[in-house]
Structures are given as C-alpha cells and as structure tokens.
Structure 1
Amino acid sequence: MINVDYIKTWKEVMKSPSHFYSEMPKTGGYFYPIVFAIGSVAIMLFCVLLIYPLIFPEIGNTIKLTYMEISLIVIFLFVMYILGLLMNSAILYITYKILGGKGSYEGTVGVVCYATAALVLAWIPLIGLIFGFYQTYLYLVGGKFIHGMGIFRSAIALIMSLLLVFVFAGLVSMSVFA
C-alpha cells in the first residue's frame, strides 16, 4: 500500500516491485506519486551536486558560477525533470493503449513516478548504470500490473515509447535546422 513515508515506500519499490505495483492504487490522484518523484529527484540532484565536484574537480576549475546561477540551474533541471516524467507517462500511456493496455494515465504516472526510486542510487559513478537498468525493470513490472499485460508486451510498449521520442526529436531537429 502507498504510504506517505518516503523511505518505507522507496524500500518497497526497490525490494519488491511486483508486490508494490500489484498493490499500488490505480486511482486516487497524482499527489503521492509526484511527491515521491520529487523526493527522488531532489535526492539525486543533491548527491550529484555534492559528489561530482569532488570526483571531477576540473569541472569546478573550468566553470565559475555564482551560487545564484547554480541555484537557478538546479531549479530549472528539477522542474524539467518532473515535467519530463509527466510527458514520459503520456507517451508510455499511448503506447500501452496501442498494445491493448487496460490501465489509466493516472496509473502510468504512478509507475513512472515510483520508478524514480532507482534515481536515488543511479547517480553513483560506475555502478549507477546498474540502477539505470533497474529503473527500466521497474517500468516493465509496473506496466505489467497497471496495464494488465505480460512483461514482454510491457517491454514492447517501452521500446515503442523510446522510438516515438526519437522520431519526434528527429522531426523537431529537422524542422529547426531546415
């Protein structure tokens, strides 16, 4: 069951995604999933800002930004990431529906937002890639339960959504540079 307790929910998503997504309410609003995603994105951005200058000091030496500029960049990235999650949900929802998915956009938003649990560890150099793949797994499992389809069809929906994004990006770049 969804809980306001971020840490408890994070552990459930990461340790037992099948159980979590099978118990996740398919209706009930966007508030809790979005708040969870905000927490995950905030933790990731905080860790990146804290750790990466220590690991890659040459970045700090070549780019001199004021605290105000850094704050504005962080706020911009944060807002764009959250908006990106909602757009990602819309694209995934469309591809699930094309493949006969039975879930709602609201359920898809829940899947995408709770899959941000992997971001809390995805920023770690070298091993972060593993958690990036785990986030993809969370999408697949969530799609399976929310849209009532097998894991294979959930994977097809995910691949189709990526292809739609690439086609759209290609069309936009062609129109911009034409």
Structure 2
Amino acid sequence: MILDYIDTWKDIMQKPSDFYREMPETGGYFDPVIFSTVSAAIGTFIHLIFTPETDEVRKFISTVPIIAVMIPFIGIIALFVDATILYAVYKTLGGKGTYEGTAKFVLYSSAASSLIWIPFVGWIFGIYQVYLYIVGGKFVHEISMERSLAAVALSILLLLLFGVLIALSGLAPGQLTAL
C-alpha cells in the first residue's frame, strides 16, 4: 500500500501526461479517494512540523484526533466540488469525458497538495496542482491544452465569484456565528 502510494505519487508528479493518459476513467472512486486522503494527511503532518509552536498550535495539536478525521473528509468533499464544477465547464467547452474521469484526475492531482505546506516554496506546488488539473482535463476530456487551461481558469473564476457572492450576501464566515 505505501509503495503503491509512493509510486503513484511519483508518476503523477514526474510524468503527469503519461499518468493521465493511462489512468482508467471507470472502475470506481476507492483508489483515488484513498490516494487523496493520504495526500491530505501528509500535507497536514508536514504543516504541523513546519508551524512554529504557539498556544494556538498546542490547542490545534490537542484536537488532532478530530482534525485527523475532518481534514481528509472536508478535503475530499472540496475535491468532489471542484470536480463537479470542472466537469460542467469542460462539457460546456466541448469535453468528452465523464464525471468519474474528471473526479479521478482531480483526486489524483491532490498529490501536489501534500507539499503545499512547505515554507517559502509551497505555493509552487499549489500552482503545480493547477497544472495537474489542466493536464488531467486534457486527457480525460480529449481537448487541447488551451481549452483545458480555459476550463480550469473559468472554474477558478466561478469559485472566486461564488466566494465574493457569499461575502456580499451577509453570510460571511464571521457572521455565521451570529445565526
């Protein structure tokens, strides 16, 4: 299992075109969900290692059992939301792939998120995760890199617009506690 994760991670990070070209687009979500859960756990662990110890960090560590369950669960939900939005945008732009194929490439793209927490360079892996989305979409939806880039850019804009609308609606996170 550990070697499978490491081999898959290396394939995604080093040869994403080959990985997504050969990735089965059917067969269920079990393997990609497990993969993205492990990536989220690794990212959380790395974040804890590199975060300076403060009272907030001590409180955070005391809740690790709860967080160990919640972060991967919330992360998986977020990735499926990403996949849903991306699938709709890809279909609008003429993509031929399935929702399952879209969800799989999004889940496997979380390989990069295991390194986002590294100080000073983590943002590079965030950008690389976006690149993995573009490459995955190209192969799953059988479209050009340019169209895949457009689909990912449009989905990011839609998510930003959604966030702005929530903030403007009066349901911003700081105001949810007042409800």
TM-score using structure 2 length: 0.87
Change (3 A) 1:94 1:51: same
Instruction: Indicate the SS of the match to 1:176.
Output: coil
Change (3 A) 1:138 1:61: same
- The equivalent residue for 1:32 is 31
- The equivalent residue for 2:75 is 81
Alpha-carbon distance between aligned partners in 1 of 2:107 and 2:60, rounded to the nearest angstrom: 32
> What is the identity percentage for the equivalent residue pairs of Structure 1 and Structure 2?
45
Instruction: Indicate the SS of the match to 1:29.
Output: coil
| Structure 1 unaligned residues grouped into runs of 5+ | none
**114-123 or 103-112, which moves further after superposition?**
114-123
- The equivalent residue for 1:44 is 43
Alpha-carbon distance between aligned partners in 2 of 1:133 and 1:66, rounded to the nearest angstrom: 27
Residue correspondences, number: 170
CA contact (8 A) 2:41 2:68 kept: no
RMSD: 2.0
Alpha-carbon distance between aligned partners in 2 of 1:19 and 1:69, rounded to the nearest angstrom: 40
Alpha-carbon distance between aligned partners in 1 of 2:61 and 2:13, rounded to the nearest angstrom: 34
Alpha-carbon distance between aligned partners in 1 of 2:36 and 2:71, rounded to the nearest angstrom: 14
Encode CA deviations 1:26-75: one digit per residue, 9 max, x unaligned: 111111111110111111111111221xxx23xx1456527543432443
TM-score using structure 1 length: 0.87
Within the candidate set 69, 87, 95, 2:89 is matched to 95
Alpha-carbon distance between aligned partners in 1 of 2:126 and 2:144, rounded to the nearest angstrom: 22
Alpha-carbon distance between aligned partners in 2 of 1:177 and 1:41, rounded to the nearest angstrom: 28
**168-177 or 141-150, which moves further after superposition?**
168-177
Aligned AA for 1:42? A
Instruction: Indicate the SS of the match to 2:96.
Output: coil
Change (3 A) 1:64 1:51: closer
2:164 matches 1:164: no
Aligned AA for 1:16? K
